[in-house]
């Protein structure tokens, strides 16, 4: 097959190139939306400042895949706990309680996060800039439930944001 006979796989959806924040110290950019993949997956790039993380939660509808690009992530996957560095990947099954954080005191964590099937990026779009209580209520509408606290007491999360 020559180049002109190949199907055009480039996205027609608008490119999202502005970073948004879920909470202070946790920025994200939607790299691939579910519209780009016919719903198969969506992909976000997340940069978390030192000591940022998320509380334990469950996705009822999606698997979540982490690929670490810079720094180190501490990830809870059900009852397992692991710290992983650059080049590592971890998959969290649908319905499995999990959380992640950046335990570093001085190095940001940068990772790609894929949700399969796609669609959860809409939660991130709607969450940007909202109050923590509103974020939690909105997350539940998208099948994401907070099931516990952060992995450590001294982390910044939606429940304990940076000042």
Q: Which region among 28-42, 81-95, 118-132, 141-155 has the lowest average model confidence (pLDDT)?
A: 118-132
Q: Which of 83, 119, 77, 122 is nearest to 103 (CA)?
A: 83
Phi/psi at 139 (5° precision): -55, -40
Answer yes or no: is pLDDT of 18 > 90: no
Report all structural domains of the chain as residue ranges with CATH numbers, in order of start. 18-146 (2.60.120.10)
Q: Are 19 and 65 in contact (CB under 8 A)?
A: no
Q: What is the mean pLDDT of the chain?
A: 89
- 125-153: pLDDT as tens digits: 988 767 777 888 899 999 999 999 999 99
Identify the DSSP state of 159.
Answer: S
Residue 3 has pLDDT above 50, yes or no: no
With tokens 């099931």, the residue in question is 147
List pLDDT tens digits, range 52-82.
999 999 999 999 999 999 999 999 999 999 9
């Amino acid at each position: 097959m020559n180049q002109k006979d190949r199907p055009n796989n480039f996205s027609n959806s608008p490119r999202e190139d502005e970073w948004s924040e879920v909470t202070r110290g946790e920025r994200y950019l939607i790299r691939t939306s579910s519209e780009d993949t016919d719903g198969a997956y969506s992909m976000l790039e997340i940069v978390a400042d030192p000591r940022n993380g998320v509380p334990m939660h469950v996705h009822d509808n999606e698997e979540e895949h982490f690929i670490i690009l810079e720094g180190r992530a501490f990830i809870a996957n059900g009852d397992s706990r692991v710290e992983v560095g650059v080049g590592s990947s971890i998959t969290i099954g649908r319905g499995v309680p999990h959380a992640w954080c950046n335990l570093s005191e001085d190095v940001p964590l940068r990772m790609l996060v894929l949700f399969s099937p796609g669609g959860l990026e809409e939660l991130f779009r709607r969450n940007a800039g909202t109050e923590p209580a509103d974020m939690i209520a909105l997350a539940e509408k998208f099948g994401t439930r907070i099931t516990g606290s952060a992995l450590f007491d001294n982390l910044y999360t939606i429940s304990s944001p940076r000042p």
